[in-house]
Amino acid sequence: MNNKLSRIKSLIKKECEKNGLASFYEHHLMAVEKNAQELLSRLPKADKETVMLGVWLHGLKKVRKLKGDPEEVGSREAEKVLKEFQYPPETITLVKDIIMTHRCKKHIPTTLEARALATADAMSQYSSDWVLNYAMTEGMSLAEFKKFMIEKLEHNYNHRIFFSFAKKLIQKRHEALMYVLTMN
């Protein structure tokens, strides 16, 4: 990992800890990093630095406890960090774009890098730790949580995992989680 990237990772870790979000760092951002590295090893044409900057900066709305659309706020806050670290305007534009599209809701990823971030982020939600941590910390009723999680996992699986090899990696986990969430 290059020096600027590792300083940005440390900055995000510190901000998470300061804002009571150590578990978000541990259960989410670290998982997205691992998935992104795995995807990048199979996508040699993707620009690694852009994707990894997206990994660390895509959750800034949550990390900084800000209001608004996660993609727009995340992208705006990412720009501030990238300017502080003196990244060139081309990199800032690319990173903002991949953050703006990573949830595949209002905006759909079209570049390899944007698809890699969306996929890595979606894949991170296929661990029992992530799902159970969500259930325990978001203050939802059981019925609300099940409805929310079923919709989230279906959206992830059908609209956010862009590579067939990634879909294969996640298929069993998707089926197992959906089985648990829908059985009575």
Compute the distance between CA of residue 160 and CA of residue 117 in angstroms, rounded to an integer: 9
- Whichever of 48 and 61 has its CB closer to Fe ion, that residue is 61
Round the CA-based radius of gyration of the chain to a whole number and report it: 16
Task: Tell me how many degrees the CA angle 72-76-82 measures, rounded to the nearest 5.
Answer: 140
Compute the distance between CA of residue 125 and CA of residue 7 in angstroms, rounded to an integer: 26
- Whichever of 59 and 109 has its CB closer to Fe ion, that residue is 59
- Whichever of 86 and 161 has its CB closer to Fe ion, that residue is 161
- Whichever of 66 and 89 has its CB closer to Fe ion, that residue is 66
CB of 184 to Fe ion, least distance (A): 30
Compute the distance between CA of residue 158 and CA of residue 4 in angstroms, rounded to an integer: 34
Residue facing Fe ion at closest CB distance: 121
Compute the distance between CA of residue 161 and CA of residue 120 in angstroms, rounded to an integer: 8
Take residue 2 and report the two structure tokens written for it.
Answer: 């290059």
Contacts to Fe ion by CB under 5 A: 59, 121
CB of 57 to Fe ion, least distance (A): 10
CB of 59 to Fe ion, least distance (A): 5
